[in-house]
Structure 1
Amino acid sequence: MQVVTPEEWDRVEAVEGVELGQLLAGESVSLQYFHIEPGADVPEHSHPHEQTGYVVDGTLTFVVDGEELVVGPGDAYDIPSEEPHAARNDGDAVVTGVELFTPPRRDPDWAE
């Protein structure tokens, strides 16, 4: 068993106002933390990993195929692998949450 405390998280400002942290990567899944400031945007991207997430605080707007999908505290979501998606924080509060990636996302682009 592996345990990682918040002090050990690898946190990176992936784009302005968007902090991501790779928490753990197991054999078949990885866990990531996100912290998105008001007004921040995650540009459209895709990856070979299925991405499942849970919003703890704040409200996040995803854009998928031109459609806006709003998720808030307690909402969960799933983005299929290779599906282009973007996100933005249109609210006044920080958005925080966690995401699972399968297969594991061991070396995400944003970590460089």
Structure 2
Amino acid sequence: MEPVEFDAAATYEPEEGWRRVSLAGSDAFTFEWFEKPPGHASPMHDHENEQVCLVLAGELTIHTEGDSVTLGQYDSVWLDAWEAHRVENTGEERAVGLDVFAPGRSFDFWTDRD
């Protein structure tokens, strides 16, 4: 067993107000908690990992190249590996979510990008 205390976990802000926290995981899967301020959107991107995005608070709209879906608290979406997408806080309050990646993703994904 390898517990991770939230307040002691690795964290960074890829952009101001967009915070990510690395939670328990392995090579098989990883969990990343995140928060986004109102109006913030990640850039369109893809990755080799399948992803489940679960909304814990607020509202998030997930955009793919051919579709968009708005999720509320406790709603989730599955994204296939290499499916281009961006995640936007379209609500008026801070949004909080949990990303699950399989296989596990390196936590420096956003800091290692060009």
The letter of the residue matching 1:32 is: E
Moved more, 20-29 or 2-11: 20-29
Q: Which residue of 1 aligns with 2:97?
A: 97
1:41 match: secondary structure:
coil
TM-score (norm 2): 0.89
**Distance in 2 separating the partners of 1:46 and 1:87:** 12
Match for residue 2 of structure 1? 2
Checking the alignment, whether the CA contact within 8 Å between 1:18 and 1:41 is kept in structure 2 is no
Looking at structure 1, the residues matched to 74 and 31 of structure 2 have their Cα atoms a distance apart, in angstroms, of 17
The amino acid of 1:38's aligned partner reads: P
How many residues are matched? 112
Structure with higher strand content: 1
Q: Which runs of 4+ in 1 moved over 4 A?
A: none
Q: Which residue of 1 aligns with 2:45?
A: 45
| Stretches of structure 1 lacking an aligned partner (at least 5 in a row) | none
1:1-112 matched pairs, under 5 angstroms: 1-112=1-112
Cα distance in 2, alignment partners of residues 87 and 100 from structure 1: 14
Q: Please give the root-mean-square deviation of Cα atoms over the aligned residues, in Å.
A: 1.4
**2:37–2:93 CA contact under 8 A, matched in 1:** yes
SS in 2 for 1:7: helix
Q: TM-score when scaled to structure 1?
A: 0.91
Cα offset for 1:26?
1.4
